[in-house]
Amino acid sequence: MSGQTTGSPAGQGFDYDVIVIGGGAAGLSGAVALARFRRSVAVIDSGEPRNAPAEGVHNLLGRENVSPADLLATGRAELAGYGGAVITGVVATAEHDQQLGGFEVGLTDGRRFRARRLLLASGVVDTLPDLPGVAELWGRAVLHCPYCHGWEFRDQAIGILATGPMATHQALMFRQLSDDVLLFRHTAALDDDQLEQLAARGITVIDGEVTALERDPSGELAGVRLAGGTVVPRQAIVVAPTMEARAGFLTTLGLQPEPVEVNGVRIGSKIAADGNGATAVPGVWAAGNLTNPMAHVMISAAAGLTAGAVINGDLITEETAAAVAAARARAQPQPLDPVG
């Protein structure tokens, strides 16, 4: 492996200095930072990025509107250029390596890899409202983030599907982009303050439960069907998915997702980590949507870079301590052989 140098794990039983679980913006950014420091690093990725349905990535300085697939392909190529590896697979387990003192990662196909450190960047899964048409239009005309998709639907007819505490906030955000914003009350409760805010901004509240999103003959969004049968024309629908951490493989490490709440209402889960990505388990860092479900691509990439740099520093500290211990041992006077 071209990234290996003196002090790498070669010959010590480890496959890599660092294994990165998840090959999105956070994982690849961390891996590139490590590979540029001549660390042997592998990214394990299933090839199912969260933002795959989106046409382009936005608010990523210098790469505005790049497709998610092209962004990841470029990141992989950059990693390969520095000697890093990408392993295609799904992680089933991650646990302490009792023999070597590092970590062992097991894939669903039976392959196993050992590393001194782990960087977790497996992201989240979006659980969408269970209504016909929502999943089919997700990432195209069904949206959740005004910063990710808002500009593309400026001045269009936008509907907010109210399913929880974020509905009023979403409506007020999208109102900045269009004069034609409706909030479908659906199953959500709105208090007097929220209703006052919506009315003040000219956002009409539509009562009644939504039963489906209607599509036109080409498969694109036509409107919102209410329980009474009325179809309200809309060009985009905003929803609030529940964002669940991809963390089932972490139980053997002792890491459990914790809830993410807004106004006391659970909107998802995450793995807790400090500002540098360190988790409660020594030797394990986390970054990206796994620790911040609402982070944009640029924020996730920055978090991955930060974690990668800190991991490299942690390895340098360990290696320096080992080198000092070895030097001291060599400097100790050796006992003389007894004269017989």
Per residue in 233-280, pLDDT tens?
Answer: 999 999 999 999 999 999 999 999 999 998 888 999 999 999 999 999
- The residue ranges of the chain whose pLDDT is under 50 are 1-7, 9-11
- pLDDT per residue over 19-38, tens digit each? 999 999 999 999 999 999 99
Give residue 332's identity as a one-letter amino acid code.
Q
Q: At 308, is the secondary structure helix, strand, or coil?
A: helix
For residue 160, what are the β-bridge partners? 183, 238
pTM: 0.91
The overall average pLDDT reported for the chain is: 93
CA distance 65 to 56: 4
Q: Report phi then psi at 246, rounded to 5.
A: -80, 85
* CA-to-CA dists, residue 199 to 195, 206, 329, angstroms: 6, 12, 76
* Per-residue pLDDT at 264: 84
Give the rounded distance of the alpha carbon of 248 from its chain centre. Answer: 15
CA distance 127 to 124: 9
* Per-residue pLDDT at 114: 97
* Per-residue pLDDT at 150: 93
The neighbour count for residue 258, using CB atoms within 10 Å, is 12
Supply angle C-alpha 200, 204, 210, rounded to 5.
145
* Per-residue pLDDT at 29: 98
* Per-residue pLDDT at 53: 83
